[in-house]
Amino acid sequence: NAGVTQTPKFQVLKTGQSMTLQCAQDMNHEYMSWYRQDPGMGLRLIHYSVGAGITDQGEVPNGYNVSRSTTEDFPLRLLSAAPSQTSVYFCASSYRGAEQYFGPGTRLTVT
Amino acid sequence: KQEVTQIPAALSVPEGENLVLNCSFTDSAIYNLQWFRQDPGKGLTSLLLIQSSQREQTSGRLNASLDKSSGRSTLYIAASQPGDSATYLCAAVGGSQGNLIFGKGTKLSVKP
């Protein structure tokens, strides 16, 4: 199993650009989520999904969209990037209520 | 609203010492609690998961305990090694859907 994979590893965007961060898992997990990690703020939940076709907002959803068309994939879209979205983004997956597995992260810089 | 706190923020110990990392949470109605390790510039590696009905879990030199009534969890590391140097994060899950509420971590440095 590859586990949880994320692409790209690094990305630099200009303010106002849009992009999609990719996340995939091959463990047939129903639950997938996106977190951002910022110095001094820790990890905060952006969006999550409990199954294909079902998504919901976390603590910091503004400026981000998600969709879950398959069990395996859970992309995160930045609609119009802002410097405040400079962060490290992590995707995670699990069976519901069970141990969660994280991807290696995407380091995003918005200038 | 659930809040998770980890104290101290940083800890430095000599190699071979046994140590305890602390995690406290404000809402005792947690579904489970998970401990992670994060190396600089890397992702999170799961260490131990404790279900709400359990009191402790063990993996090798690591032992995690959970006391819901006092809102506390501890991670015990036996015979610490320089390779244990990393940031340790605890996270509480409030409901069955699995959303994690993280503490800000304890940065551990084990000196040879």
pLDDT (tens digit per residue) in A20-36: 999 999 999 999 999 99
Residues of A with CB under 8 A from a CB of B: 31, 33, 35, 40-45, 48, 50, 58, 90, 92, 94, 96-105
- Contact list, A58 vs chain B (CB under 8 Å): 99
Q: Are residues B98 and A94, on separate chains, in Cβ contact within 8 Å?
A: yes
Is B52 exposed, middle or buried, given 0-12, 13-18 or 19+ CB atoms closer than 10 A?
Answer: middle
Is B72 exposed, middle or buried, given 0-12, 13-18 or 19+ CB atoms closer than 10 A?
Answer: middle
Residue A2 has a pLDDT of 82
Average pLDDT over residues B87-106: 90
pLDDT band at B96 (very low <50, low <70, confident <90, very high): low
Average pLDDT over residues A86-95: 97
Residues of B with CB under 8 A from a CB of A: 31-32, 34, 36, 42-46, 49, 89, 91, 93, 96-100, 102-105
Q: Hey, of A7, A90, A100, A107, which one would you mutate to test binding to chain B, going by the most B CBs within 10 A of its CB?
A: A100
Chain A nearest-CA residue for B2: A59
Question: Which token pair is B72?
Answer: 């506390």
pLDDT at A1 over 80: no
Q: Across chain A, what does the average pLDDT equal?
A: 95
Average pLDDT over residues B53-59: 94
pLDDT at B95 over 80: no
Q: Are residues A101 and B97, on separate chains, in Cβ contact within 8 Å?
A: no
* Distance from the B11 Cα atom to the nearest Cα atom in chain A, whole angstroms: 17
Q: Across chain B, what does the average pLDDT equal?
A: 94
